[in-house]
Amino acid sequence: MRSRLALPIALIAAVSVAATACQSSSGKSSSDAAAKDAPKAASSVADYNPQPYDNIKDGGTYTTAGTFDDQGNPFNVNATLTASRVWSWYNADAITYSPTGEVQYNPDYYSDVKVSVEGGHQKVVLTINPKAVFNDGTPIDWTAIEATWKANNGSDKAYSASTTAGYDGITSVEKGVDAKQAVITFKGVDASWSSLFTTFLHPKAATVDNFNQAYVKKAHPEWGAGPYTVGSWDEHSGNITFVRNPKWWGKKGKLDKRVYVNLESAAAVNAFKNGQLDYTSAVDAESLKQIKGLAGTEIRSGGSPFEYSLNFNTKSPILSEKAVRQAIQESVDRPQIAKIQFQGLDYKEPLPGSAVLHSFQKGYQDNVSAVLKYAPDEARKTLDAAGWKPGSDGVRVKDGKKLEVGYTLLGDDALGKATAGALTAMLKQIGVRLVIKKADDADFSKILSERNFDLFLSGNRSMDPFAARYLCDFYCSDHDSNITGSGTPELNKEITATTEIADLDAQNAAVNEVEQKALQEYAFLPLFSGPSTYGVKKGLANVGATIFYSPLPETIGWQK
């Protein structure tokens, strides 16, 4: 399952609000002191009113904004974070993680897990709960694990898999002592194997056609399993209602209904204020101001494994030149972008320095600052040396062609427009004209799949703590999920080698070393991260800023 799910800047409202202290890389920014004084502990806090199952009331409804995305299969390359969240309400949640990333096995699916290494090769034996069954009556057994592996291991290019990383290191999935046991054998070792089977596919859902198309604007509750199933889905409005699943064998869901209402971010805040929603994300200072202090409301804010980055399309004619990409990155004042994004929010943290590790994780280091400094003067020199000379209108020219770069802006989001304006001014100073190209939110998947952009700002969320597993998603030249198209075969090999290190500390050290090389392609620039902040009705349990934790659906509800 893909752990990092691309999100357009216009959809930040649906997921998180972040604030960041400003890091100076030139020594001239007024933000130096802020960076030094930035509190680090705040980014590691989880805030979600944790309550044990027995302390949750039986009954009630939980309503938020959300809907089925175009692609509802979270293993598919075009799936988003929303798709993953909706999926978890009517499909298996077999492995989850604590807020800080410790592995948790769900005995309702995996009654026993054994991991061993023999002759340098890792073996994982999953014993599946004898009661586990898909909603259509098909037993959940080793064939579901096998089908999930085959759909995602890259051997059949017809599958539009989000990532093959990890799956491609498995040499076999076989039946164990009986059909309820899956024996997974790896070529070498995989320290992050648990992230491969947090959920799984019904064998029928794992054919090429169904994997790619069956979940496009459709739900398939018959192929699902869990405490809830789809009660209704209004294809016109996009609203979804989940109800208790009569075929569920584990602890029953506490809620009578889980409801998603299809609303835009601004409408969601208003709906929360009017009592129509039980939970909403505070996207900016204004939305936080609107919900703060409402009767019966709590503000829950904590760490976030989100990150928003500027992607450079290395396949576009103007950005195929590394010198141009480097100069643009040297001219981007990240502290200023962060200041725009989080004005009015009382939170500070260091700017993100990695695509795959977060500042609250063990092993994190700031790889961006190790290879890049904010230096417009150097950027001008870089362009001079590359033959781009200032034109009479201030825009550089080379071989009769102006240095104009497109910036794809989704939707009509105020923060998105302000960020585009700031980037325009920053690039103008070095002789680059930024051309804003507006697109609809609905075009998001198409823009990525067709790589129809020069510069594009998008976000990703880590669903688990394993950095090495996702390096390829960002930096491997042969991976569709690397939307920049950057990289080399040599770098691919170095990235892949990090996944073969069994010790997590040593693995993260190798990840940092390789990522610094990858960042010198100047195709990917982390911009800001920050906390997740939500307005939540008092009494709602196990909901809020959970960092890596995904509470099981049956544990979510109203506190007694």
Contact 262, 238 (CB under 8 A): yes
What is the number of H-type helices and E-type strands within the chain? 15, 24
Q: Which ranges of 303-353 would DSSP assign to H, the alpha helix?
A: 322-331, 334-341
Which positions ≥6 away from 195 have C-beta within 8 Å?
A: 1, 3, 95, 166, 463, 464, 466, 469
Model confidence at 40: pLDDT above 70: no
Residues 404 and 513 reside in one and the same domain: yes
Last-in-domain residue among 210, 234, 264: 210
Per-residue pLDDT reduced to its tens digit, 130-167: 999 999 999 999 999 999 999 999 999 999 999 898 89
Per-residue pLDDT reduced to its tens digit, 490-509: 999 999 999 888 888 899 99
The mean pLDDT of 202-227, rounded to a whole number, is: 97
Query: Would you state the structure tokens that stand for residue 206, as one six-digit string?
Result: 């794992």
If one compares 285 and 326, the residue with the highest pLDDT of the two is 326
Q: CA–CA separation, 212 vs 161, rounded Å?
A: 8
Is 259 within the bounds of a domain? Answer: no
Buried b (16+ CB within 10 A) or exposed e, 417-432: bebbebbeebbeebbb
If one compares 21 and 543, the residue with the highest pLDDT of the two is 543
Question: Three-state DSSP class for 148?
Answer: helix
The mean pLDDT of 3-18, rounded to a whole number, is: 35
Q: CA–CA separation, 247 vs 228, rounded Å?
A: 9
Per-residue pLDDT reduced to its tens digit, 169-192: 999 999 999 999 999 999 999 988
pLDDT band at 362 (very low <50, low <70, confident <90, very high): confident
Model confidence at 330: pLDDT above 90: yes
398 sits in which H/E element: strand 396-398
Residues 176 and 34 reside in one and the same domain: no
Total structural domains in the chain? Answer: 2
Model confidence at 235: pLDDT above 90: no
Buried b (16+ CB within 10 A) or exposed e, 478-516: ebbbbbbbbbeeebbebbbebbbbeebeebbebbbebbb
What pLDDT is recorded for position 3?
Answer: 37
Residues 197 and 313 reside in one and the same domain: no
Is 509 within the bounds of a domain? Answer: yes
HSE toward the beta carbon, residue 148, CA cutoff 13 A: 23
Residues 23 and 150 reside in one and the same domain: no
Model confidence at 43: pLDDT above 70: no
Beta strands in 176-222 (DSSP E): 181-186
> Domain limits at 330?
7-46+304-532
Question: CA separation (Å) from 33 to 29, 36, 39, 134, 249?
Answer: 9, 5, 12, 56, 56
pLDDT band at 114 (very low <50, low <70, confident <90, very high): very high
Question: Three-state DSSP class for 326?
Answer: helix
Is 2 within the bounds of a domain? Answer: no
pTM for this prediction: 0.74
Is 33 within the bounds of a domain? Answer: yes
What pLDDT is recorded for position 341?
Answer: 83
* CATH number (domain holding residue 187): 3.90.76.10
The mean pLDDT of 330-334, rounded to a whole number, is: 98
Model confidence at 20: pLDDT above 80: no
Per-residue pLDDT reduced to its tens digit, 436-448: 999 888 788 888 8
Sheet bearing 240-244, strands edge to edge: 61-65, 257-261, 240-244, 228-233
What pLDDT is recorded for position 5?
Answer: 41
What pLDDT is recorded for position 12?
Answer: 34
What pLDDT is recorded for position 379?
Answer: 98
Residues 32 and 100 reside in one and the same domain: no
Q: CA–CA separation, 149 vs 160, rounded Å?
A: 13
Residues 481 and 354 reside in one and the same domain: yes
Which of 40-54, 71-85, 99-113 is predicted with the least confidence, judged by mean pLDDT?
Answer: 40-54
Average pLDDT, the chain: 89
Share of the chain above pLDDT 70, in %: 92
Question: CA separation (Å) from 3 to 83, 125, 263, 462, 465?
Answer: 12, 23, 25, 5, 9
What pLDDT is recorded for position 163?
Answer: 86
Is 258 within the bounds of a domain? Answer: no
Last-in-domain residue among 156, 189, 210: 210
Query: Would you state the structure tokens that stand for residue 479, as one six-digit string?
Result: 């991976």
390 sits in which H/E element: strand 389-390
HSE toward the beta carbon, residue 528, CA cutoff 13 A: 29
Residues 197 and 316 reside in one and the same domain: no
Q: CA–CA separation, 279 vs 284, rounded Å?
A: 15
pLDDT band at 86 (very low <50, low <70, confident <90, very high): very high
pLDDT band at 44 (very low <50, low <70, confident <90, very high): low
Residues 17 and 129 reside in one and the same domain: no
Residues 330 and 451 reside in one and the same domain: yes
Compute φ and ψ for 177, nearest 5 degrees: -65, -25
Is 545 within the bounds of a domain? Answer: no
Place of tokens 């080698």: 497
Model confidence at 420: pLDDT above 70: yes
Is 377 within the bounds of a domain? Answer: yes
Residues 179 and 112 reside in one and the same domain: yes
Sheet bearing 121-128, strands edge to edge: 110-118, 121-128, 181-186, 170-175
Percentage helix, strand, coil for the chain under 3-state DSSP, each rounded to 5: 30, 25, 45
Model confidence at 7: pLDDT above 60: no
Last-in-domain residue among 168, 191, 210: 210
Which positions ≥6 away from 274 have C-beta within 8 Å?
A: none
Residues 326 and 458 reside in one and the same domain: yes
Question: CA separation (Å) from 238 to 3, 14, 68, 260, 297?
Answer: 25, 15, 7, 8, 26
Is 75 within the bounds of a domain? Answer: no
Question: CA separation (Å) from 350 to 171, 301, 345, 513?
Answer: 41, 17, 15, 20
In terms of Cα–Cα distance, which of 78, 84, 105 is closest to 197? 105
* CATH number (domain holding residue 523): 3.10.105.10
Residues 201 and 318 reside in one and the same domain: no
Contact 429, 326 (CB under 8 A): no
